[in-house]
Amino acid sequence: MTAAVPDRATGMDEPRPRGALSRLIQDANDRGLSYAKMSQRAVDPETGTKLSKPYLQRLVTNPPANAPSPTQLKALSGALNVSERRIKAAAAEQWLEYTATELAGYNDEVRIIVGHLAGMPESELRRWRAMIEADERARRESD
């Protein structure tokens, strides 16, 4: 899905890929959830922050330069009936170019190790994988 954006150099409309949060909203709309219904449901239960229909439409067609606030993200969670974690991950991907990886069930040590590995070039990842697999083989052989 793309939205037309004027190219500053030519003045022509160029398609721009939609960000992850914009896609979540558009996908819900494509499945039949109207912007009006989203707006009715878009209320942060803690603060009462509400999102308007035009704001929701704008998030899809012409997203603001800054990500929605945490209370707006909570309201979006209710509007789309999607977990707050998923909404925040989509916003992080769209505005921060950060892709979150869920590591549920692991302790902080594992998360830290995975975080370090995630930033490595492919050649380094292959080296680490070979070391981990060699260690696993050695443990199995010694048992």
| CB 44, CB 78: distance < 8 Å | yes
Statement: the pTM of the whole predicted model exceeds 0.75: no
Alpha helices in the chain (DSSP H): 20-30, 35-41, 53-61, 70-80, 84-96, 108-118, 122-142
Using alpha carbons, list the distances in angstroms from residue 6 to 13, 62, 95. Answer: 4, 11, 20
Other CB atoms within 10 A of residue 80 CB: 22
Residue 1 has what DSSP assignment? -
| CB 19, CB 58: distance < 8 Å | no
Distance separating alpha carbons of residues 122 and 135, to the nearest angstrom: 20
Distance separating alpha carbons of residues 123 and 106, to the nearest angstrom: 25
Distance separating alpha carbons of residues 73 and 9, to the nearest angstrom: 34
pLDDT per residue rounded down to tens, the chain (143 residues): 444 444 444 444 544 558 999 999 999 999 999 999 999 999 999 999 999 999 999 999 999 999 999 999 999 999 999 989 889 989 998 999 887 666 666 777 776 777 778 777 888 889 988 988 898 888 888 87
